[in-house]
Amino acid sequence: MKVLITGGAGFLGSALANALIAGGHTVRAVDDLSSGDPERLNPAVHFQRGDVADIPRMWTMLQGVDVVCHLAARVSVSESVLYPGEYNATNVGGTIALLQAMRDAGVRRFVLASSGAVYGDLDGPAREDDAPHPNSPYAVSKLAAEHFVHTIGGLWGMETVALRIFNTYGPGQPHRANHPPVVPSLVRQALSGGSIVVFGSGRQQRDFVYIDDVVNALTAALSGQGLSRLTINVGSGVATSINDLVATIGRALGRDLTPLRVSQESGGVSYLCADLTRARERLGFVAKTGLDAGLARVIEAYRARK
């Protein structure tokens, strides 16, 4: 299988690219390097720096490709509130441009990495047929990208699959200065001996899914049959509060951690967890790495870098 991965030098993109190379596939990766690092990639990956909105460049990279996995996106919820136009241009406009390049190059299979954020706040596990209630420009842009992908795919004869990926974590996840992901942020604070900052009450619950499990789901979507026009959740299926996440990190470190609660900033939606029925039925997907084991690997990787 010949695969093009956009956002291929990012945290998830590089993990997928390296796994596909290990599985004997041919991989091309493109990334604008706004947050990616090509040093993460296996040397066998054919990497180019570029923007998915550059249709001529993408047309060239798409020659001979069987399937595209579109991971390139801007992903900060808080930043999207400040710059909604830029998020629309990248996450929606970039997706449409890539689809146009695929049409012209004759590539007929497309996997989109969407987000569990499209659901907004729900009372129970999110099912794919639940009405979405996106509450940030980021979430709106991912939902709009889904609609464009499935609609254009139907009009242009492409197979399209959208995976709504929940809170991915794992070793090597970047710690962005501006609104970093919660797992690397808390682990870094705990290892440094500083205050463990928790926004809101800490009772808000999230679905934390280990990166290897997400890679397995993406790999299944790239080659699976009978998936066209489907939207599928990818998560652990377990809701964990931020308070419990802090306690789990503390257990891994062998000490109690006391959170410093910051009530001035929202902790986001109160509950977000994936129902994985469709993922099991259509992808054969089961999350294999529990939170305790996953966090232990994250902590081990942080310590190894010091």
Give per-residue pLDDT as tens, 186-230: 999 999 987 899 988 899 999 999 999 999 999 999 999 999 999
pLDDT over 70 (residue 177): no
Task: Please report, rounded to a whole number, the percentage of residues in the chain having pLDDT higher than 70.
Answer: 97
Class in CATH terms, 182-205+239-272+291-305: alpha beta
Quote the pLDDT of residue 176. 75
**Local confidence band at 305 (pLDDT 50, 70, 90 cut-offs):** confident
Topology at the third CATH level for domain 2-169+209-236+274-283: Rossmann fold (3.40.50)
Looking at the annotation, which residues are catalytic? 138
Q: How many angstroms separate the Cα of 196 from the Cα of each of 185, 191, 257?
A: 9, 10, 7
The ranges of the chain annotated as CATH 3.90.25.10 are 182-205+239-272+291-305
pLDDT over 80 (residue 132): yes
pLDDT over 90 (residue 261): no
Q: Which of 61-75, 177-191, 267-281 has the lowest mean pLDDT?
A: 177-191
pTM of the model: 0.96
Quote the pLDDT of residue 267. 56
Quote the pLDDT of residue 263. 77
The ranges of the chain annotated as CATH 3.40.50.720 are 2-169+209-236+274-283
